[in-house]
Homo-oligomer: A and B are copies of this chain.
Amino acid sequence: MLKNQLLIAALLMGTAASTFAQEKMKPEDTEVWEPVPHVVATPLHQAPSDAIVLFDGKDLSAWESQRNPGKPAEWTVAGGTFTVNKKAGNIITKQKFSSYQLHLEYYIPADIEGEGQGRGNSGLFVAAIGTGDEGYELQILDSYENKTYVNGQLGSVYKQRIPLANPARKPGEWQTYDVIWTAPTFKQDGSLESPARVTSIINGVLVQNNVELTGGTKYIGKPEYKAHGPSPIMLQAHGDPSQPISFKNIWVRPL
């Protein structure tokens, strides 16, 4: 038959042909042998072996002041944890990141006071792109029996994405925040090429499931994208200094 005739015949044979083809395949035909995924050691209660440890209880040497670039991150280290020092402002990682998997643990003191956004407020900026509270903020807040707008409660992408659930533990207990961050990409002209996406899990509960972001976080107005490259990760000094939030066990695995 001519080439066209062959094509038509194939189309007519439809699924039967396809199944026939598969039956003639051998198991080995669908085995792939490379590339071989790299080995990661995963000791209990420790960071995976390929992670960049951002805080292991010792010091804040992986961080610096946001407002005084190059100066130390003057939050308080004690007992294997560190605690927000409001006077010192936000802190950012010295290293810049694109997409990654991140783990952190946070602690809101048992005697926390205030309400709404004024109660145990900090934030994880998965990418800090300016000099203030700019970037993409995953909200950290005491949302245990504390009402606020739902796109501003624990686990929200601040003022952009409502969390799927409210897994807040009572203040006075350590809590975990796991994030899979897909950084946005931009074209040469600064316009958006692919949007940012985020999956986040708090205390083991999925709160954001690969949601697409519509831009950087804004306190006033709608999210907007502004082109940027690899960026530091930032922790926000938002809390009342008399009710400080603590952190420990922070690591990140670039993807």
B150 A36 Cβ-Cβ under 8 A: yes
A42 B78 Cβ-Cβ under 8 A: no
CB < 8 Å: which of B152, B173, B206 contacts A180? B206
A27 B199 Cβ-Cβ under 8 A: no
Looking at chain A, what size class is its interface with the partner chain?
35 or more
B37 A163 Cβ-Cβ under 8 A: yes
CB < 8 Å: which of B33, B182, B253 contacts A205? B253
Q: Is A22 an interface residue (CB 8 A)?
A: yes
A78 B80 Cβ-Cβ under 8 A: no
Write out the residue numbers on chain B whose beta carbons fall within 8 Å of the beta carbon of A109. 57-58, 77-78
Q: Is A72 an interface residue (CB 8 A)?
A: no
Contact with B along A17-36 (1 / 0, CB 8 A): 00001110111011111111
Write out the residue numbers on chain B whose beta carbons fall within 8 Å of the beta carbon of A111. 58-59
Interface residues of A in 40-61 (CB under 8 A from B): 40-42, 44-45, 48, 50, 56-59
Write out the residue numbers on chain B whose beta carbons fall within 8 Å of the beta carbon of A220. 22-23, 25-27, 29-30
Q: Is A164 an interface residue (CB 8 A)?
A: yes
Write out the residue numbers on chain B whose beta carbons fall within 8 Å of the beta carbon of A78. 76, 78-79, 81, 83, 109, 244, 246
How far is it, in angstroms, between the C-alpha of A122 and the C-alpha of B98 when the chains are bound? 35
The chain B residue with its CB closest to the CB of A209 is B180
In the assembled complex, the CB of A85 is this many whole angstroms from the nearest CB of chain B, namely 10
The chain B residue with its CB closest to the CB of A169 is B42
